[in-house]
Chain A
Amino acid sequence: MFLRNNTPLNRVTNYIINLFLVFILLAILMPIAFMLSASFMSSSEIFSMPYRWIPSRIYLENFYRAVAGNDQSFIFLRNVLNSVVVATTTATLSIMVSCLAGYGLSKFRFRGRNIIFLIIMGRMMIPFEAIMIPMYITAVKLGLQNTYAGLVLPFVLNTFGLFQMRQYLMTFPDDILDAGRIDGLGELGIFWRIVFKNSTPAIATAAILSFRGQWDNLLWPLLLAQKEKMKTIPTYIVKFTEEKYSDEGAMMAVAVLASLPIVVMFLSLSKYFLQGSGMYSAGKE
């Protein structure tokens, strides 16, 4: 595109830009490299000055302690499973709800449409901490403590996902929908066969957004999942920050293990992750 002409001046600028880029990348990746190298070190080696990036000895005990937990219960594995179940279910339900609502809000004219859209968007401005207690009381009264439903339902409505779906579906050609109606498909049929099945990129990005939100969630599972076997990874990790067990090596090992699934997902679905960000820029009204 632009900047492509190879004048000498440009070559110099290019060189400077590349150098700058390398520097920035090093800065961005340094903490991650630190996590990896520290996960193979004993606590005292992590704080050696100057820091040696290569562990003097591969210290695998960290990973054992990370997985076994301080009580050798190996509940970690169950907690990983919980996180997977909760995040996947939330993502699945959330794209259904977002897609339905996004479709309804973008392709149908009805009274209250804009108000509904605006108040749902207003939710983005409420910090979770502010409504945590009434939300908890609601969930308890509905009998959702220590259940997957309780961990999932409050986050099925993903405001961002809904917003993205609406923006995406605004550009969905009306002709195809009308063609479906002419072919005698019911509204649900049109939604399922035409809209849903043709929105894969938007759906995938919304699903990833919602999956990551739940993979990250700390406060809510901490409150609602009181039984060990219902806890999720973030609530497992915070145990390692407890002062009396504070064990920097195992802390980094558990950080590495908790990041593995999401990083694998990121590498295999990178297209959708990156598009997920890109969706914002698609939102031109």
Chain B
Amino acid sequence: MKRLILLCLAVLFLAGMYVFAEGSQEAAAVNLSDPVTLTLWTHEDVNRKALEAELIEEFCRQYPNVSVDYQTYPSTKMREILTVAFSADQGPDIFNQSQSVIRQFVVQGRASSLDPEWIGEKTLENVKSRYIPGALEAVELNGEIYGLPLEYTNFCMYLNKGIFRDAGLDAEKDYPKTWEDVLSLSERLVLRNGEIITRRGYDFRYPSYTMQFLPMVEQLGGRLISEDGKSAIVGDEAWLQFFRYMKEWGPTGKNLGGPTYTAARKVFDNNDNEIAMSDSGLYQQGRMKTANPDFFESNDWMIVPFPQWQNAKKEVAGAIACHYYLVNGQIPLARQIWAWRLVDFMLTHSEEYLSRVNLVQPTYSLLNSDTFKAIPYSDVFARDMQKAHLVYYAENSAAINDKFKAAVESAMVLGEDPAVVLSKFRKEVQDIIDSE
């Protein structure tokens, strides 16, 4: 019996040593003419997939030794798949994700740092000077650049003029300027069947807590983390005002909406008399055009800036979500170089990304281009962008976003006392910061 177990364990460990031995296959010389296949993982986006397929084809025609394996994943699963694959040292050569997810890859040394000469630039400064200030923040570390931005999205407010008219309002004049307006307008616009809402005035974007809700607190002078990064929750008054507002919004308050209703931006496009105001990025116009072309052409919608509080201490617009393309830093150098070249090649077609997929890259040339200016309400987004910063992207941001979600829900859905919610939230975030 004992012998059997010992034997099994021995076999297991030998097999383990064989299978798990670290391979060291570092190529000595870089040969850029060898055939190379690049794997690229990205989240699903039908229109972008079509565009990128064309760009890749063009690239491969120019460089016949390069071929590309393009794979798409559901965006909600993307983070897990990347994490697991990289943990097994099986990451793709090129991948893209939002600022908060890719930050971990940058900090942990999984991403390749860009040598400007690979993409035909003399210095890193030249690369940086393509982009507006702050755009590269999440991929910068110790003076190096670890990724290039694919899309730069801030939220402004979409309005359905028809529903405003229906409620005896004029959207052009009565659109909300402050969060107080948002609440009072919603009360006029909402329709219910008993307690169940059939038409909302406005509703938030529920999973995007650090993106949409945090700026509301910041307008009032509050902060998630102190400037030195050591203590959680600054400016109690700001937070309390925010939580009180959310409590009023929820079912125990004025019952104006909540996280279990269908996502606001999606029903907005349907124009089915379900929602009057919804927050989204410029890309939503593309979605609207596909989902409901009649509504898109109708001139019955408009976009206004991110609201501010009446007693706001500083103007802060909806935070900016940025997706970056990164290159795997653990693959042979030749592959890294080709990967960077492909990324650079694709991203230099920023006007196509904008006109065909409605994605905005934060380059000076694009933001000043006629293509950008020709897009309806692009000026609203551009103006707001100057008052906005990147979404919180520290290594622990996903965990904090979840605690933020729980806190907002306690106040809003469960109707808990804002002071209690705040002290619990402070403790949880402090724990997360301290455990780093």
Contacts and interface: CB of A to CB of B under 8 A. Distances in A.
A, B: real partners: yes
Contact of B81 (A47, A133, A226, A228): A226
A246 B266 contact: yes
Interface in B2-50: 4-5, 19-20, 41, 44, 46, 49
Contacts of A112: 1, 4-5
Contact of A228 (B72, B87, B88): B72
Contact of A136 (B44, B88, B272): B88
A44 B291 CA distance: 14
Contacts of A238: 74, 77
Contacts of B193: 49
Interface string B44-88: 101001000000000000000000010111111100110011011
A4 interface: no
A243 to B, nearest CB: 5
Contacts of B5: 112, 115
Contacts of A226: 41, 71, 73, 81, 85
A141 interface: yes
Interface string A241-254: 01110100000000
B211 to A, nearest CB: 14
B262 interface: yes
- The prevalent SS among residues of A at the interface is helix
A222 B81 contact: yes
Given A145-B90, A227-B71, A136 B263 contact: no
A228 B71 contact: yes
Interface string A185-224: 0000000000000000000000000000000000000110
B198 interface: yes
Interface residues of A, number: 29
A141 B90 CA distance: 10
Contact of A115 (B1, B41, B274): B1
A10 B62 CA distance: 86
B270 interface: yes
A137 interface: yes
Interface centre among B19, B72, B74, B196 (most CB of A within 10 A): B74
Given A112-B5, A136-B88, A242-B76, A141 B19 contact: yes
Interface string B268-282: 001010100000000
A171 B345 CA distance: 69
B287 A244 contact: yes
Contacts of B1: 111-112, 115
A243 B263 contact: yes
A239 interface: yes
A242 B74 contact: yes
Please tell me the size bucket of the interface on B. Answer: 20 to 34
A49 B196 contact: yes
A142 interface: yes
A115 B263 CA distance: 53
Contacts of B85: 223, 226
Contacts of A138: 19
Contacts of A246: 262-263, 266
Contact of B20 (A43, A44, A49, A141): A141
B140 to A, nearest CB: 29
A184 B19 CA distance: 43
Contacts of B81: 222-223, 226
Given A142-B19, A242-B44, A44 B76 contact: no
A140 B88 contact: yes
Interface in A132-149: 132-133, 136-138, 140-142, 145
A160 B52 CA distance: 46
Contact of B46 (A47, A70, A132): A70
A71 interface: yes
Contacts of A44: 270, 272, 274
A241 B360 CA distance: 26
B71 A223 contact: no
A137 B20 CA distance: 9
A210 B46 CA distance: 35
A93 B4 CA distance: 25
B287 A71 contact: no
Interface in B322-366: none
A239 B90 contact: no
A71 B46 contact: yes
Nearest to B87: A133
Contacts of A136: 84, 87-88
Contacts of B274: 44
Nearest to B273: A44
25 contacts: A44-B272, A49-B198, A70-B46, A71-B44, A112-B1, A115-B1, A133-B87, A136-B84, A138-B19, A140-B90, A141-B19, A141-B88, A145-B90, A222-B80, A223-B81, A223-B84, A223-B85, A226-B73, A238-B74, A242-B75, A242-B76, A243-B266, A244-B75, A244-B287, A246-B266
Interface of B: 1, 4-5, 19-20, 41, 44, 46, 49, 69, 71-77, 80-81, 84-85, 87-88, 90, 193, 196, 198, 262-263, 266, 270, 272, 274, 287
Nearest 4 A/B pairs, CB to CB: A111-B1, A137-B88, A141-B19, A140-B88
Given A227-B71, A239-B74, 14 more contacts: A44-B272, A44-B274, A49-B193, A71-B46, A111-B4, A141-B88, A142-B19, A223-B81, A223-B85, A238-B74, A242-B44, A242-B75, A243-B76, A244-B75
